[in-house]
Amino acid sequence: MVVPRLIERKRSGQALRDDEWRELVAGYTAGTVPDYQMSALLMAVMFKGLTHQELAALTGAMLDSGARFTRTAGGAPRVDKHSTGGVGDKTSLILAPLLAACGVAVPMMSGRGLGHTGGTLDKLEAIPGFTTQLSLEAAARQLDDIGVVMLGQTEEIVPADRKLYALRDVTGTVESIPLITASIMSKKLAEALDGLVLDVKVGSGAFIPEPARARELARTMVAVGERAGCRTVALLTAMDRPLGRTAGNALEVREAVEALKGEGRADLLEVTLALGVAMLRLARPAVTAAEAMSTLRDTIASGAALERMAVLVERQGGDPRVLSRPELLPVAPVRRELTAAEQFTMPPLSPRAVGELIVELGGGRRIASDTVNPAVGIEFPVMAGAPVDGDAQWAVIHAQNEAAADHAGRVLRELLDEASRSGGDILPLVMETISAGDLEPPEGA
């Protein structure tokens, strides 16, 4: 392999062969292909894209750079969900135990919050004692035993992505749809799934805000999943305002537990159940959407979903008493309610700005090594589009000290003014579903 020739071919829009992608990825992971050559190649991909065949080859080569979850024959159907990231998105905390209680095996491998978006691992670690650092072997054992495991990406999974993502981050090559697809799908395929549901966020707080590009990403990921033998469905969902009532790690655990008790707010439930229906139908293709919905609702109503959460928390070292006594979760010293003198309609507050405010409060990270304060965050008692009565609370700040609460109050009032002035429409929470039948046949078919 002569790397400069491969870069030149890609730069002029030609496709590289499967074996060339394999050698490139293996060489880069092993350190024989240097960063400067890989950077040039990534930039060529950014401008020229990849064919379906190349994308499958790149994803497969990345997948093969590391270990996978083991899979014994038979057993429960294995399904996971992945989100492109949002603010207030605690759907994973609800879906993992809920689907497990419906007989689906859920190996949920998640990330940490970075920038304005939150991360499932940080939320779980708000539960005293909960560990998300499990070996693949321990995770596979737990999955067999209780049908659910929630863990961080281990060192063994797709090491090529760890290196490539760090390089993309500093070479202006993150926003390439084929590169995002290979990065996400190689990690998800390492879970040896039967089915995968992708929650692709759309709107100002989304990784890719524009609906057309988000749709393209969704279609590309569905195509790669299906081609790799994993049934894949994508939902486009709204991230033009935070999802649900809370943003901030411990607050979101509380809200997720309420949802598992059947007390979830309508916006959170709508997105969670839409994703859950898609997951359940991938596990059991004969089930209709209406049947899947009633199974999910019954599993919450019976207490089985909450019970599975208790088993999960205990198994991963957490204190299961937080499920019945949420005051055992970290609580911020300062609680500040924001009210308005007159009635108004709650506008969609910028999730990006809310996420950045949570980082300022200490609840998120600017750089990967920052530590996170699990207790801080913001509650939004009223859904976007609903009226807020005069004197009623429209936000509640949970801060580490008075000065931080003062600052958050100022920022939130500005955000409210700005959002009220711009008076934009609110996106539908669940905008579109994309599955294999919605794709064009691949080239050469």
Kindly list the residues in this chain that would bind ligand URA in the complex (CB under 6 A).
165, 180, 183-184
Verify whether residue 187 is a known catalytic residue.
yes
Q: Which one from 183, 186, 350, 435 is the annotated catalytic residue?
A: 183
Give the nearest distance from C-beta 180 to ligand URA in angstroms: 4
Q: Which is nearer to ligand URA, 348 or 351 (CB)?
A: 351
Q: Which one from 80, 89, 122, 161 is the annotated catalytic residue?
A: 161
Give the nearest distance from C-beta 66 to ligand URA in angstroms: 14
Give the nearest distance from C-beta 161 to ligand URA in angstroms: 7
Long-range Cβ contacts of 298-304 (<8 Å, 24+ apart): 299/98, 299/101, 299/102, 300/98, 300/259, 300/260, 300/261, 300/262, 301/262, 304/101
**Which residue is closest to ligand URA by CB?**
183
Give the nearest distance from C-beta 407 to ligand URA in angstroms: 30
Structure tokens at 145: 């035993």
Give the nearest distance from C-beta 313 to ligand URA in angstroms: 26
Strands 393-399 and 231-238 turn out to be unpaired
Q: Which is nearer to ligand URA, 158 or 269 (CB)?
A: 158
Q: Which is nearer to ligand URA, 78 or 112 (CB)?
A: 112
**Contact call for residues 405 and 332 (beta carbons, < 8 A):** no
- The string of DSSP codes covering 96-114 is HHHHHHTT-BEEEEE---B
Entry field: residues in the chain: 445
What per-residue string of b and e applies to 355-390 under the rule 16 or more CB within 10 Å gives b?
A: bbbbbbbbbbbeeeeeebbbbbbbbbbbbbeeebee
Give the nearest distance from C-beta 291 to ligand URA in angstroms: 33
Geometric angle at alpha carbon 59, from 13 and 139, rounded to 5°: 165
Verify whether residue 298 is a known catalytic residue.
no
Verify whether residue 219 is a known catalytic residue.
no
Q: Which one from 10, 78, 82, 227 is the annotated catalytic residue?
A: 82
Alpha helices of 102-154 — where are they, by DSSP H? 120-124, 136-146
Q: Which is nearer to ligand URA, 159 or 326 (CB)?
A: 159
Distances (CA, A) of 94 to 198, 278, 310: 16, 14, 12
Q: How far apart are the first and last CA of the chain?
A: 29
Give dist(CA 388, CA 316) in Å, integer: 40
Give the nearest distance from C-beta 114 to ligand URA in angstroms: 10
Verify whether residue 168 is a known catalytic residue.
yes
**Contact call for residues 345 and 389 (beta carbons, < 8 A):** no
Partners of 198 in the β-ladder: 82, 234
SS3 (DSSP) at 413 = helix
Q: Which amino acid is at 72?
A: T
Strands 79-83 and 195-202 turn out to be parallel
Q: Which one from 90, 187, 215, 231 is the annotated catalytic residue?
A: 187
Verify whether residue 82 is a known catalytic residue.
yes
Q: Which one from 10, 81, 163, 168 is the annotated catalytic residue?
A: 168
Active-site residue list: 82, 161, 168, 183, 187
